[in-house]
Amino acid sequence: MTSTSASPSLDAAPAPHGQKWTPRLVGVLIALIWPTQLLVTVGILGSNATADVAQSFHTTQVAWFSLIVTLVSALLSPFVIKLGDLYGKKRIMLGMIALGVVGDVIAATAGSFEMVLVGRGLAACYGPFPALAFPAVRDIFPGRLVKSASGILGSSLGLVALGSPFLAGWLIDDWGYKGAMWFLAGATTVSFVLVATLVPETPKHAFDSGFDWLGGIVLGSGLAILVYAVGQGQSWGWGSVKTMAWLAAGAAALAGFLLVERASSHPILDLGVLRRRAVATTVVSGALAQAAAYTAPVVAILLALYPHIPGVSAGFGWTAQHSATVGVTWNLLLFVTGLVASRFLRGVDTRLIWWAGVATMGLGYLLAGLHHDGAAQLTWTMCVASLGSGLVVAAAPVLVVGAVSPDEQGLGSGMLTMLTHVFGAMFGAAMFAALAADSTVLEGTAFYGDSGYTWAFWVGALFSAVALAVGLLIPPLREPEEEAEEAPSAV
């Protein structure tokens, strides 16, 4: 249950009124940006490391190198959301980051693909971090700054996307995937220090001591089962009895969760908010679009890094460094677009930015599927997609701010994070299914043909189209300063 009280937690230090940026607020935002967008670096390094992992361990199951992160994150998300409301977000953040460091070290030192997956799975405890970071902005920042701070936190993805490919190229070209894993271990340690020293504890939004462990287990398991079934669908066969059985088990678990929550006096998630059109359309549209924005660029990375073998592999065969150099244009555009959008989010109907962003992103991936023959074509089509993605990552968290109350912010952001993981798993499965439809296996490694890359890009266009259709149903949203113009921040 969430509290409707406006009283801050006793754990949160009182702070003076103010509606302007201060050095302390800037420090807090940086401390939240680093660990939140480190997850993007994890994705970029993981994508660039995929080919090396596949060839190092001679496995055709390399999709699990990324999918295991999504699966574990989906399992843990409901617990993270509730624990953050019960005990304050900072202490939960620190626990998640600490587990992430341990997992990265295991992955870096693993001698088998199975142990790599164990390390990646443990590191995925860090995966639901955005479910706490974005609500923390609303808890800490004054109302007038919530939209701009949330937009900057989201759009900082572009800065990370700009630098990470060069970092990935240097690490993987010189040290292979192990170099990437060791870097993540060090960078995650920095996250721990930043959060521990700069981020204040946030108010509690749940004051009862009860915790619905059964509901959390059932929900997390249901989501994880669905992610697993989708991830294995290509190898099992989408119409096979095994795939259908796992999908049915996941659906049954989610249905069971509804019954458990209805009977619980301390529900882990207040599903009643989904009866409100603003919340339901915002989280579904936001998750679909973010899944495309975060996952579709993997297709361009695979196209660039996989070797060019006539009749076998349609990849360009670039080094990771060359791929990063070519990608500067679209990643820089993503960063600048997101930053500019964040500047103008206040006073503008966020839905307009959202609709424009999702539509442009979808058009870009549609064009990329048609035109990806060489660096020039890949560059201009990905620039169109990145123009839209910059608007999407800046506007998504702001949509949630307008759809829910302050006490529901953790719940709303958590639902967005959970659905983004689920849709991301679906996107990844659909992407690799499209690639596998035109593939050749040599010495245990799958190589992809041109039509596979075409259809993989079009998966991004499809997700964008569905996100836009749902997004057009979002009603007018509230402004955060309307509800807390004079409320003190936690800093």
Q: What fold characterizes domain 23-198+207-211+268-477?
A: Growth Hormone; Chain: A; (1.20.1250)
Indicate if the pLDDT at residue 410 is higher than 70.
yes
Beta strands 445-448 and 308-309, pairing class: unpaired
Considering only residues 378 and 62, tell me which one the structure prediction assigns the higher pLDDT: 378
Considering only residues 125 and 170, tell me which one the structure prediction assigns the higher pLDDT: 125
Indicate if the pLDDT at residue 9 is higher than 70.
no
Predicted confidence (pLDDT) per residue in 280-313, tens digit: 999 999 999 999 998 888 899 889 888 888 888 8
Please compute the mean of the pLDDT values over residues 102-115 and round it to a whole number.
83
Q: Dihedral of CA 313/461/334/190: which sign?
A: negative
Domain definitions of the chain by residue range: 23-198+207-211+268-477, 212-267
Predicted confidence (pLDDT) per residue in 366-397, tens digit: 999 999 998 899 999 999 999 999 899 888 88
Local confidence band at 8 (pLDDT 50, 70, 90 cut-offs): very low
Please compute the mean of the pLDDT values over residues 109-118 and round it to a whole number.
80
Considering only residues 245 and 45, tell me which one the structure prediction assigns the higher pLDDT: 245
Question: What DSSP line would sit under 420-447, residue for residue?
Answer: HHHHHHHHHHHHHHHHHTTEEEETTEEE
The overall average pLDDT reported for the chain is 80
**Tokens representing residue 304 in the block:** 């660039």
Asked if 147 and 398 touch (Cβ cutoff 8 Å), the reply is yes
Indicate if the pLDDT at residue 422 is higher than 60.
yes
Local confidence band at 226 (pLDDT 50, 70, 90 cut-offs): confident
Predicted confidence (pLDDT) per residue in 25-47, tens digit: 888 998 898 888 777 777 767 76
Question: Hey, how many other C-beta atoms are within 10 angstroms of the C-beta on 239?
Answer: 8
Q: Dihedral of CA 254/260/266/270: which sign?
A: positive
Please compute the mean of the pLDDT values over residues 413-428 and round it to a whole number.
81
Q: What angle do CA 285, 372, 338 make, to 5 degrees?
A: 40
Which residues are 314's β-sheet partners? 308
Indicate if the pLDDT at residue 14 is higher than 70.
no
Indicate if the pLDDT at residue 481 is higher than 60.
no
Asked if 435 and 452 touch (Cβ cutoff 8 Å), the reply is yes
Local confidence band at 54 (pLDDT 50, 70, 90 cut-offs): low
Considering only residues 293 and 483, tell me which one the structure prediction assigns the higher pLDDT: 293
Question: Hey, how many other C-beta atoms are within 10 angstroms of the C-beta on 349?
Answer: 12
Q: What is this structure's pTM?
A: 0.76
Which residues are 446's β-sheet partners? 441
**What's the rounded Cα separation, in Å, for the pair 182 and 422?**
27
| Nearest in space to 172 (alpha carbons), one of 274, 291, 46 | 46
Asked if 121 and 107 touch (Cβ cutoff 8 Å), the reply is no
Residues in the chain, total: 491
Predicted confidence (pLDDT) per residue in 168-205, tens digit: 777 777 787 778 888 888 888 999 999 999 988 877 76
Considering only residues 18 and 89, tell me which one the structure prediction assigns the higher pLDDT: 89
| Nearest in space to 123 (alpha carbons), one of 102, 144, 93 | 102
**What's the rounded Cα separation, in Å, for the pair 68 and 65?**
6
Question: Hey, how many other C-beta atoms are within 10 angstroms of the C-beta on 68?
Answer: 22
313 membership: H or E segment, kind and range:
strand 313-314
